């Protein structure tokens, strides 16, 4: 029998469970996530089919185009929000950032011949600046994310209203090139859902493939353990907020291209819809669990519910009620699944 060095407890004999337990934990977590995403996708398909049977015009050419356009911006915002929520934080300022950047981009390009690239770059720059402020306060200032982003929401809304002074951006003053970005299409598919899909695919690939992306999951699972493992937690959280702000700024420019007419309170209240889509899509509000694919499915589901209720001539009140019910069900499911997953991992580690 080996003797442990002085001052150190002797390691237990028997097979080590480290790598095997880690692989088992990952496989179990991935299986749970796949089941969650498949269930959301199934619910989305069932909702679309049921609405189509009740009203066949729901899936005609214009109806499909409207579904894609209506969900594209919410999918984009949910992608950025997911990166923040994975780190066990939240960004409640995305709706106000969309409103600010949409008005700023509209004010900048109105009456000019600026290209849509200029509007997009301006929106991304403003959104990134807002995200960096929130991220710095959360990561380096150690202020709770809920407090910081809620404060940023009101600050940005106040600045936007003071700047707008009751005015609005009219579509007639926006260059045709910018409006074409929101109404144009390629092979019958609108530009906006294509752009959202590209951002979604890029983000999902980064989170799964790159080490810095996987570190976001580690931070959300256990921030203290991630810090002890040498992960730069503060920088990663700051980068997550900067990315969320950049995506929200990008969405603001696309909002201008989509609607043309912009007022100071554009996207007002969308922050809660975005959080709901992320949580319904399987990204745990406690961090460390979920995928951007699930968040996108959650956003598509919430958008389709709203469109289906309009087609079926049901009161808009039920959209909020259904969204709230789905949010509560998702949080409860996450709690139950996490408890059972923890128990299963403990049993595996003991065996």
For residue 228, what is the domain's CATH number? Answer: 1.10.3470
Say if residues 135 and 240 touch (Cβ distance below 8 Å). Answer: yes
Confidence tier at 64 by pLDDT (50, 70, 90): confident
Say if residues 251 and 76 touch (Cβ distance below 8 Å). Answer: yes
Q: Identify the pLDDT of residue 332.
A: 76
12 or 271, higher pLDDT:
271
Confidence tier at 268 by pLDDT (50, 70, 90): confident
Residues 6+ apart with CB under 8 A from 199: 76, 79, 247, 250
Per DSSP, the three-state class of 17 is coil
pLDDT of 172 higher than 80: yes
Q: How many CB atoms lie within 10 A of CB 75?
A: 28
Cα–Cα distance between 280 and 334 in angstroms, integer?
A: 10
Strand partners, 262: 169
Task: Compute the mean pLDDT over every residue in the chain, rounded to the nearest whole number.
Answer: 84
Cα–Cα distance between 273 and 298 in angstroms, integer?
A: 10
Q: Identify the pLDDT of residue 39.
A: 80
Structure tokens at 264: 């100071």
Cα-based torsion angle of the residue sequence 202, 203, 206, 209 in order, rounded to the nearest 10 degrees: -90
H or E stretch including 41? helix 18-54
Look up residue 247 and give its DSSP letter: H
pLDDT of 93 higher than 90: yes
Task: Write phi, then psi, for 166 (nearest 5 degrees).
Answer: 80, 0
Q: Which of 41-50, 78-87, 254-263, 266-275 has the highest mean pLDDT?
A: 78-87
Cα–Cα distance between 127 and 156 in angstroms, integer?
A: 11
288 falls within a domain? yes
Q: Identify the pLDDT of residue 335.
A: 66
Cα–Cα distance between 178 and 175 in angstroms, integer?
A: 6
pLDDT tens track for 96-121: 999 999 999 999 998 888 889 999 99
Cα–Cα distance between 274 and 248 in angstroms, integer?
A: 11
263: left (phi over 0), alpha (psi -120 to 50) or beta: beta
28 falls within a domain? no
pLDDT, average across residues 168-185: 89
Structural domain including 244 reads 34-336
Cα–Cα distance between 98 and 73 in angstroms, integer?
A: 10
18 falls within a domain? no
Picking from 26-35, 193-202, 243-252, which range would have the lowest pLDDT averaged per residue?
A: 26-35
pLDDT tens track for 17-32: 344 444 444 455 555 5
pLDDT tens track for 119-152: 999 999 999 999 999 999 999 999 999 999 999 9
Token pair 């019958």 is found at 188
Q: Identify the pLDDT of residue 245.
A: 96
313 or 259, higher pLDDT:
259
How many structural domains comprise the chain?
Answer: 1
41 falls within a domain? yes
Picking from 89-93, 164-168, 274-278, which range would have the lowest pLDDT averaged per residue?
A: 164-168
Structure tokens at 115: 């290209």
Cα–Cα distance between 43 and 41 in angstroms, integer?
A: 5
Q: What percent of the chain has pLDDT over 70?
A: 85
229 falls within a domain? yes
200 falls within a domain? yes
Picking from 57-71, 126-140, 148-162, 229-243, which range would have the lowest pLDDT averaged per residue?
A: 57-71
207 falls within a domain? yes
Q: What percent of the chain has pLDDT over 90?
A: 46
Token pair 């979920």 is found at 290
pLDDT of 67 higher than 70: yes
Confidence tier at 9 by pLDDT (50, 70, 90): very low
296: left (phi over 0), alpha (psi -120 to 50) or beta: alpha
Q: Identify the pLDDT of residue 51.
A: 87
Cα-based torsion angle of the residue sequence 172, 178, 179, 184 in order, rounded to the nearest 10 degrees: 160
344 falls within a domain? no
């Amino acid at each position: 029998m080996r003797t442990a060095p002085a001052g150190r407890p002797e390691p237990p004999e028997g097979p080590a469970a480290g790598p095997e337990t880690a692989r088992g934990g990952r496989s179990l977590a991935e299986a749970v996530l796949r089941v969650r995403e498949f269930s959301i996708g199934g619910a989305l398909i069932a909702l679309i089919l049921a609405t189509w049977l009740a009203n066949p015009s729901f899936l005609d050419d214009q109806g499909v185009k409207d579904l894609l356009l209506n969900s594209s911006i919410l999918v984009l915002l949910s992608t950025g929000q997911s990166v923040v929520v994975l780190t066990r934080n939240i960004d409640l300022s995305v709706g106000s950032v969309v409103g600010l950047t949409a008005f700023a981009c509209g004010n900048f390009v109105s009456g000019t011949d600026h290209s849509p690239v200029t509007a997009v770059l301006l929106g991304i720059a403003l959104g990134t600046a807002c995200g960096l402020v929130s991220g710095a306060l959360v990561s380096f200032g150690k202020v709770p994310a809920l407090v910081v982003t809620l404060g940023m929401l009101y600050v940005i809304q106040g600045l936007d209203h003071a700047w707008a002074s009751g005015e609005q951006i009219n579509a007639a003053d926006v260059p045709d090139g910018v409006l074409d970005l929101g109404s144009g299409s390629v092979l019958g598919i609108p530009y906006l859902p294509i752009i959202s899909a590209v951002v979604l695919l890029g983000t999902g690939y980064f989170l799964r493939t790159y080490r810095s992306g996987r570190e976001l999951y580690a931070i959300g699972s256990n921030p203290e353990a991630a810090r002890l493992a040498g992960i730069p937690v503060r920088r990663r959280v700051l980068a997550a907020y900067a990315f969320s702000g950049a995506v929200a700024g990008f969405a603001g420019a696309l909002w201008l291209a989509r609607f043309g007419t912009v007022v100071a309170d554009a996207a007002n209240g969308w922050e809660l819809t975005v959080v709901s889509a992320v949580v319904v899509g399987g990204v745990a509000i406690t961090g460390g669990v979920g995928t951007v694919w699930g968040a996108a499915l959650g956003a598509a589901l919430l958008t389709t519910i709203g469109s289906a209720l309009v087609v079926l001539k049901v009161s808009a009140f039920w959209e909020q009620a259904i969204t709230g019910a789905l949010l509560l069900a998702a949080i409860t499911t996450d709690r139950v699944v996490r408890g059972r997953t923890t128990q299963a991992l403990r049993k595996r580690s003991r065996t």
